[in-house]
Amino acid sequence: MEKGWNRVLGTNDPTARTEMEAIRASARSLGSFTRAGGDLYTSAQPCPLCWSEAYWARSDRAYCGTSVKDTAAIGCDDEVFSRQRTCSPQRRKISEVQVWRRKLARGCEYDAMPGMIRY
């Protein structure tokens, strides 16, 4: 079992959240990008970033303490991010603009690379 703690303010890294740090430490310890069969224990319900990371790491379960509303009450309001992802792209605070799709898609032909590992 690996531990993580919120290092966002100390490192000025918005991704250095508790769950992310624990998952990173676990990946280093296991020598693998997957945590399949592993659980995530957290004092609060993860933000959308950390939930996504738990899925990418293939965690089996997440045991959460407080809810999103509980953490919003103490000044950490992640609910706005969840609401943004359910908006249409035109209504989001961060606009999404697709550029150079054909040209960039060629560089994304990962599946044709020799030794490609699916994740």
| The predicted structure's pLDDT at residue 55 | 93
| The predicted structure's pLDDT at residue 88 | 86
119: pLDDT strictly greater than 90: no
pTM: 0.76
Enumerate domains of the chain plus CATH numbers: 8-112 (3.40.140.10)
For 53, the token pair is 């990371």
100: pLDDT strictly greater than 70: yes
Options 2, 19, 53, 79, the catalytic residue: 19
Neighbours of 76 (CB within 10 A): 16
- Across residues 5-26, what is the average pLDDT? 94
> Which residue is it, tokens 């250095």?
16
Helix residue spans in 12-75 (DSSP H): 18-30, 48-56, 68-73
Confidence of residue 72 (pLDDT cuts 50, 70, 90): confident
Q: Which of 20-29, 42-51, 72-81 has the lowest mean pLDDT?
A: 72-81
Confidence of residue 113 (pLDDT cuts 50, 70, 90): confident
107: pLDDT strictly greater than 70: no
- Name the CA dihedral angle for 86, 92, 94, 96, rounded to a multiple of 10 degrees: 80
* Coil, strand or helix at 28: helix
- 19 noted as active-site residue: yes
